[in-house]
Amino acid sequence: MSNIPAVNALLTAINHDRFAEIEAHHASDAVFHSFRGPTLRDSVAIADWHREFLRDYADCNYTELEYVEQGNTVALRATIEAKAYDWRPFTQRIVEVFEFDDAGEISARRLYAMLRDIELDKAATASMTDAQGFQGGSASTTKGVVDKFLTSVAAGDIDGMKEPIHDKATLIDGVYGIAHGFDNILALSGSRPQPAFGTLRVTRVLTGEHDAMLEWAIEPSRPRLAQWFRLVDGKVRVVEVYWMLREVGVNPMENYANDRHRRQVILPI
């Protein structure tokens, strides 16, 4: 049985500030990692976290929902529409991973995000339009492409990495920028700051008909980033990168400064 309706029920509860329902959807010992931090380890704390979250994300609404489901795990890609402290609207792209227990309750959640109000250039928009309009593919084909890509990454085989990548592929990194074409994507990926110790490894792969979600971490108990692969005709057309912002030293609120406007007294004429 699919767990996607349970995910949608949770999103409805979040969109309508129903904190008791939010708590009820989680197992009592659920673990929640979010891009805002900190790590939470019980359903009451998770409901309280959403009280604070929904103060900062007023009129929160999850839109543009896309899913990849495998076993007891559902990966969601969505865009949050909300209003900031001064009621200016903003958007934020997110990927969230839900794990369910046998009772149908959420036992683990991991919420990754881009920075707010990411704007796509013309080429990135064309790539996304192409990828989102593609209706073919199969989960087995997607898995084969992703497995081949990851094998090449592990071996450091540049030619092998390039083979499943579309000629006009786009990388949309929610923190470090946008790149087009394999060479530029490789350069951008290589320019990201790397940790002093440890090796980044894939901790989970979920594959759908033409989408795949990959989670990466150095230490599995500290999720780091999620990638959403979009395939067209067996080639990777778009890769979206979402981060645990706190984990990589990025203040999730830092771009709120762009919203602040000068306040002054308006004197009568």
pLDDT in tens, 235-262: 999 999 999 999 998 988 765 555 555 4
Mean pLDDT of 59-86: 95
Q: What is the DSSP string of the chain?
A: --SHHHHHHHHHHHHTT-HHHHHHTEEEEEEEEETT---B-SHHHHHHHHHHHHHHSEEEEEEEEEEEEETTEEEEEEEEEEE-TTS-EEEEEEEEEEEE-TTS-EEEEEEEEPPSS----HHHHHHHHHHHH-----HHHHHHHHHHHHHHHHHT-HHHHHTTEEEEEEEEETTTEEEESHHHHHHHHHHS---SSS--EEEEEEE-SSEEEEEEESBTTB--EEEEEEEETTEEEEEEEEE-TTTTT--TTGGGGGG----------
Confidence of residue 269 (pLDDT cuts 50, 70, 90): low
Q: Is residue 267 predicted with pLDDT exceeding 70?
A: no
Q: Is residue 1 predicted with pLDDT exceeding 90?
A: no
pLDDT in tens, 195-210: 878 889 999 999 999 9
Q: Is residue 86 predicted with pLDDT exceeding 80?
A: no
pLDDT in tens, 126-171: 999 999 999 988 999 999 999 999 999 999 999 999 999 999 999 9
Mean pLDDT of 117-124: 94
pLDDT of residue 113: 97
pLDDT of residue 85: 76
